[in-house]
Structure 1
């Protein structure tokens, strides 16, 4: 069973950001569901993955351009993960150094939107993995490896996300 609790409440900026992320997730979720209902399940997954991956690569290029030391994963984290974004996902650093960043996310606004649409756990898990293609694209643009461990959408307590300096 998916447990996607919110503990950070009443922060106006975080609430606005969560609302925007939930709105984006609603679009994606309904696009996928309507495509599946039309018999295009495989095609919808492929299209969404391609679009989200390209979005991540575009976002990653922008982050790389702003990052003073793009080869330093800690510097990347400081550039990419604002304090508001960390609060939005209730994320904490487990490791943060020049070679890698390991994060735990305790809440996911995307998942909240999919749950509010009444999507079953399996569909939420599928949409979560598709959404992670954005982070995979960011990592690729930065020249990093990406690892996704546990996810809340799989029924785990947290989402485990790692960005790791790539081998040259």
Structure 2
């Protein structure tokens, strides 16, 4: 993950993430007003998971058990990942891939929007469904966790070999 972009490019990338974060937030708010919070979260997660399933097809060659190959391909595909997410690979062996993100531009954007910690938690769950879709579509088992109030950093991705491994 070589960070090569200039400051202007990073600013544009952050703005794009902020727009994505706003889209998630406004859709969640609208769905919550119309259908209630539980249904809004369910539908938001369903849609986001579908987006992840489309992305997961790019990683299918690594499933169900090449966690090291998955790690390299996944982290290598995150544009300016070091600056935007500050990933820390905590484990990568034949049994588990664990990546902890010290930052998240979506979470940071929601906080800058003035969203409550509880709303940020729910929005992280909604947006985090992308990872469930991505890793399961690639043939792995996903057991990650999204951010909760009082925690530092952001998501913890835990990917285990798929059932065919």
Please give the range of the TM-score, normalised by the shorter of the 2 chains. 0.7 to 0.9
Alignment partners' CA distance in 1, 2:8 and 2:97: 28
| Deviates most, 23-32 or 40-49 | 40-49
Q: How does 1:61-100 map to 2 (within 5 A)?
A: 61-64=57-60, 67=61, 69-70=62-63, 71-82=65-76, 84-100=80-96
Alignment partners' CA distance in 2, 1:75 and 1:99: 13
Gaps of 5+ in 1: 1-9
Name 2:158's counterpart in structure 1: 162
Aligned CA RMSD, in angstroms, stands at 2.2
Choose from 129, 132, 137 the match for 1:133.
129
Alignment partners' CA distance in 2, 1:34 and 1:142: 32
Q: CA contact under 8 A between 2:141 and 2:161: conserved in structure 1?
A: yes
Name 1:3's counterpart in structure 2: none
**Residue aligned with 1:154, SS:** coil
Alignment partners' CA distance in 2, 1:128 and 1:157: 14
> How many angstroms does 1:166 deviate by?
2.0
Name 1:58's counterpart in structure 2: 54
User: TM-score when scaled to structure 2?
Assistant: 0.81
Name 1:27's counterpart in structure 2: 23
Q: CA contact under 8 A between 1:52 and 1:133: conserved in structure 2?
A: yes
Quickly say closer, same or farther: Cα 1:150–1:123, change in 2 above 3 A: closer
**Residue aligned with 2:97, SS:** strand
Name 1:45's counterpart in structure 2: 41
Q: Deviations over 1:80-107 (max 9, x none)?
A: 2126224311111111234422111111
Gaps of 5+ in 2: 1-5
Alignment partners' CA distance in 1, 2:150 and 2:96: 26
Alignment partners' CA distance in 1, 2:48 and 2:146: 20
**Number of residue equivalences:** 155
